[in-house]
Structure 1
Amino acid sequence: MTGRQPLRIPRILPGLTPRNAARETLAGVTLLAIAVPLNIGYAQIAGLPPTAGLYALIVPAIVYALIVSSRQLVASPDAAAAALVASSLGGLAVAGSQDYLVLAFAQAIIAGVIFVLCAVFKLGFLASFLSKPILVGFVGGLALDILVSQIAKMLGVKIDSGGEFVDKVAGVVTGIPTANLWSIVIAAGSVVVLVVGRRIARVVPWALVVLIVSTVVVVATGLEAFGVSVLGTVEAGPPTLTWPVIDWVTWLQLVPSAIALALVTMAEGLLVARSYGEKRGYPTSPNRDLLAFGAGNIAAGATGGFTVGSSTSRTAAMDQAGSRTQLPSLVAAVGTLALVLFGTALLEHIPSPAIGAIVAIAILPLLGVRDFIALWRQDRFEFAVGAVCFLGALLLGPIAGIVLAFVLALINLAKRAANPAVDILSDDDTPGDSVLPDAGRAPTSASGVVVVRFAAPLFFANATVFEEAIRKAAGSRPPASEPEVGPPATPADAPAPAPVRDLVLDLEAVTDIDVTGAESFHSTRDWLTTHGVALHYSRLRPDLRAKLAHYDLLDGVDVYATNRDAVAALTSR
């Protein structure tokens, strides 16, 4: 006789159980309250109608939630994506026009295809090129650009939101005399509610509170007649399947910006997904997450939305609300669908200054002030990298900024790889005891054997360093016929250092070698032979052994399992 089986929820949403279903549903209501005002604001930043931001919360969110491996990462248009869309499409069509809207759809589809290709070919590692300083600087530059536009909206000043940063700042400054007093009052009140309210009760959706209260005030007092700008008519109706019809040249023009969108989302989204997975104890799959982003963006472009990225702030809000599944995204999608079907009339009188205040407060953390302070204290070079990316994204534009970010990433990588650690080892392989205090000094025994460890793959960027390090190590002891000049380097009773006759190259940390490195290796071996120094290898990896054989670097060279074995064999001869 079998007992009663417990109720099981299908594993469509990992982590969802009957016990936490109510909590996850409530978190979904909170997400809806947070996402609706933000997505309306981000759509405006991108130069798109409010429905583009709302539609991105419906089908794309559902598709993403059902595919992604992360149980918590929230996918939605964000500030960086909105800024990239505005800057990249501004030169191709007039913001707000039908052509502009079609280009935004096509851009989302291209970004989705890029995500899918990255998932199929397992290219998620490309996001690693955007290090934290680069990401902080790039996103911070975009955030400041957006902030200026929102300040103009809060002041009631008209500026070209698609213009250059300097022009926007000039527009705000010169427009201050024309600022609308009531817009300033609404914006100031909204900021106070958002900031103070968050300190009092973080679980309350203060952005929604601000929208409701400010809308009621505007409608009740007729402030539109006094120059307060409002959202305006929002088209009602569900998202419908569509496909952008543009010529192939325009498709190609959208590829660079779509790549930039994909890279920024990859770098931030995969990092956040992994960190929450580790924090909450569930596995994540980067390539599956990329596939989810791809499917979500294709769905966005095909249903009237725009590019979907990862929302760090909303993910953090859901984590604080106790959510550990993707159910909140599904609840928010259903709620948004109900809103576009039956409640768009409620959105028409939302004051623009309130939307500007909500977006401004939301993107303030993206400026990365604390991160820049930490970088300044920890590593001035990394700080400089972040600062250059910040200025590049701000002054050159997001597309040029992302190219600059990759160039800086490659420079940073080459800088570090070109100066690897080169250790002169003792006879002991024990970590922590094997490296001598002075890496440029050979062991003090009189054996004539020196062990050198090159701690990096050998390739074009560090081949010269390798060659110089080996020659220095081999010549670090004076020949026996030449007396040392100056005070003795060792105590009087210590054995006199012998000329180097055997050099053991510890290859444990050398994981690869390229053609330039092989040529440098040949040159170094010839130099050692000319100077009467025999070359030997220790701790050679099987994969590197094959490469050394391919480059004819194994012939006539003894290979030892450990440094201790090498020194013992060579000193006993």
Structure 2
Amino acid sequence: MQRPLTGLTRRNVGRELLAGVTLLAIAIPLNIGYAQIAGLPPTAGLYALVVPAVVYALTVSSRQLVASPDAAAAALVASSIGGLAVAGSADYVTLALAQAIIGGVMFLLLAVFKLGFLANFLSKPILVGFVGGLALDILVAQVAKMLGVRIDSGGEFVDKVAGLFTGLDTLNWWSVLISVVSLAILLLGRRFARAVPWALVVLVLATVGVVIADLDDAGVAVLGPVEAGPPTLTWPVIDWTTWLVLIPSAMALTLVTTAEGLLVSRSYGEQRDYATSPNRDLFAFGLGNLAAGATGGFTVGSSTSRTAAMDQAGSRTQLPSLVTALGTLVLLVFGTGLLEDIPSPAIGAIVAVAIVPLLGIREFARLWRADRFEFAIAAACFLVTLFIGSIPGILVAFVLALVNLAKRAANPAIDVLASTGEPTESLLDEAPAGSVTAPGVIVVRLAAPLFFANGAIFGDAVKRAVEAAPEASVRHVVIDMEAVTDVDVTGAESFAALQEWLTARDIDLGFSRVRPDARARLVDLGLLGDNAVYETNRAAIAALEN
């Protein structure tokens, strides 16, 4: 087990501390923006950078993955709690804390029972569509903020778009100017000097401009008073039925974070040559979210953008997260007055720039070129998430994942070899080179488990191979089981039905190169051992295996 801050040495401590200052400058404006997306006070985003970040940094196996609320998590919080309480109210905050605690428990269960593989059902197309739908919903609210147009940020996507267009007559030109200048600084700065924390630069300049010109009196919305003081221990007090209502949304948050977090953790571990432990990472996410729910934060996930920024800054330890936690704590205790005049259009511009890559435009284009079916899966997740909601979106994502899995499993590679000793064309793929059979024997190679989704397809393939051979030339059909790892009851029934069909034509059915686990299954299902189907083909199988 790695020690906390593994990789920290005297030689790199200065670089790690500097990276921590950079992370602090990036995280504070983003977390304030994400808290607003979630419908929570700014302190909820800042509290998530203190105790949860420390707990996570000291327990995770990844040396680089940055844990923090992100845009997708914030949008999920808003969409799932928005119908239960008024955004910004005390009840709303309480529900967000409870949601984080439920998510923390789920992470711990995934870690203890080693169930992280469940996140593999969220394939790339599903994540692209799901996160893209959330991102576009967020983007509409940020555009309204940048234009100075007031809309119901907790409403449905269609209502937000309608509110944006109908509210254009209330557009505030000072807000537009702040937004345009902020976007120019962020985009040009990122292109020519990526190491500079441009989000912080934008906040400072915009705030100074608002204060000097009294732009809040001209209609420019500002952040307003921010509660001062460190995070304190708390516990959400709600009835048990409300806890149950929050479970689906907490599950969605957990699965999305698991899929993205483990992938990013493993990716950087492989790139930088250090070992990671998926279950330990899940355990760290669990503790981090419990800490968030108990100290006034909200759901903590993995931040891909901040992790990439730390990697580019040369950081290879979790020290920057600890530096950020300390800096945020100092700000909460002594400097919240500095946050009151931050203009909302500047926050909107910062969040919008962070959100646009999550729309997945390039990923959608890549899926369109590579696989139209997977593109359709991504598009379906995108539309359901956008127009119906995040929880239906995650449910549809799982259904589509199963459909995609069944579609691929139902079309396995089946190689058929004719009795002449020369390979014929495979029914679904080219036959492997060098495969031959004895006269009168057809070998069928199935490169997949035989189960309910492909049993009938496999049986039809064997029948077509027999019918395509010269009349009465086939005496034996042997199933090459080398690549068959399992057989279910439906698959066994397909074998039995195939046996009856072959027996009616005086053709024996046998099995070759059966794996030990698959052999045990076939014995249990009555298809091997003393079964006559196997015994009558012993000679043919021995000839082939030798």
In the superposition, the TM-score normalised over structure 1's length comes to 0.91
Q: Deviations over 1:211-234 (max 9, x none)?
A: 001001101111111000000000
Deviation of 1:339 after TM superposition, in Å, equals 0.7
Q: Amino acid of the residue matched to residue 34 of structure 1?
A: I
Query: Quick check: 1:124–1:286 contact (8 Å CA) kept in 2?
Result: yes
Deviation of 1:558 after TM superposition, in Å, equals 5.2
Over the aligned positions, Cα root-mean-square deviation in angstroms equals: 2.2
Q: SS at the partner of 1:143?
A: helix
Matched with 1:230 is 222
Write the distance in 2 (CA, Å) between the matches of 1:55 and 1:403: 31
Q: Which of 157, 165, 175 is equivalent to 1:173?
A: 165
Output aligned runs, 1:471-510, within 5 Å.
Answer: 471-480=463-472, 499-510=473-484
Q: Which of 481, 506, 511 is equivalent to 2:485?
A: 511
Matched, 1:567 2:541: no
Matched, 1:103 2:95: yes
Matched, 1:548 2:519: no
Q: Deviations over 1:86-140 (max 9, x none)?
A: 0111111111000100000000000110111111111101110011001001000
Q: Which of 451, 465, 469 is equivalent to 2:461?
A: 469
Q: SS at the partner of 2:355?
A: helix
Write the distance in 1 (CA, Å) between the matches of 2:324 and 2:419: 64
Write the distance in 2 (CA, Å) between the matches of 1:254 and 1:370: 33
Matched with 1:136 is 128
Matched, 1:382 2:374: yes
Deviation of 1:26 after TM superposition, in Å, equals 0.8
Matched with 1:6 is none
Deviation of 1:58 after TM superposition, in Å, equals 0.5
Q: SS at the partner of 1:535?
A: strand
Cα 1:561/1:177, change in 2 over 3 Å: farther
Matched, 1:534 2:508: yes
In the superposition, the TM-score normalised over structure 2's length comes to 0.95
Cα 1:92/1:568, change in 2 over 3 Å: closer
Cα 1:558/1:505, change in 2 over 3 Å: farther
Q: Deviations over 1:444-465 (max 9, x none)?
A: 9771111111111111111111
Output aligned runs, 1:133-532, within 5 Å.
Answer: 133-425=125-417, 436-439=424-427, 447-480=439-472, 499-532=473-506
Stretch moving more, 510-519 or 306-315: 510-519
Deviation of 1:293 after TM superposition, in Å, equals 0.7
Write the distance in 1 (CA, Å) between the matches of 2:537 and 2:288: 54
Cα 1:454/1:500, change in 2 over 3 Å: same
Q: SS at the partner of 2:468?
A: coil
Matched, 1:38 2:38: no
Cα 1:559/1:446, change in 2 over 3 Å: closer
Cα 1:559/1:100, change in 2 over 3 Å: farther
Write the distance in 2 (CA, Å) between the matches of 1:23 and 1:151: 37
Deviation of 1:187 after TM superposition, in Å, equals 0.5
Q: SS at the partner of 1:403?
A: helix
Write the distance in 1 (CA, Å) between the matches of 2:424 and 2:324: 61
Matched with 2:111 is 119
5+ residue gaps, structure 2, are none
Write the distance in 1 (CA, Å) between the matches of 2:543 and 2:59: 54
Cα 1:427/1:108, change in 2 over 3 Å: farther
Matched with 1:494 is none
Q: Amino acid of the residue matched to residue 275 of structure 1?
A: S
Q: Amino acid of the residue matched to residue 326 of structure 1?
A: Q
Cα 1:239/1:542, change in 2 over 3 Å: same
Cα 1:518/1:109, change in 2 over 3 Å: same
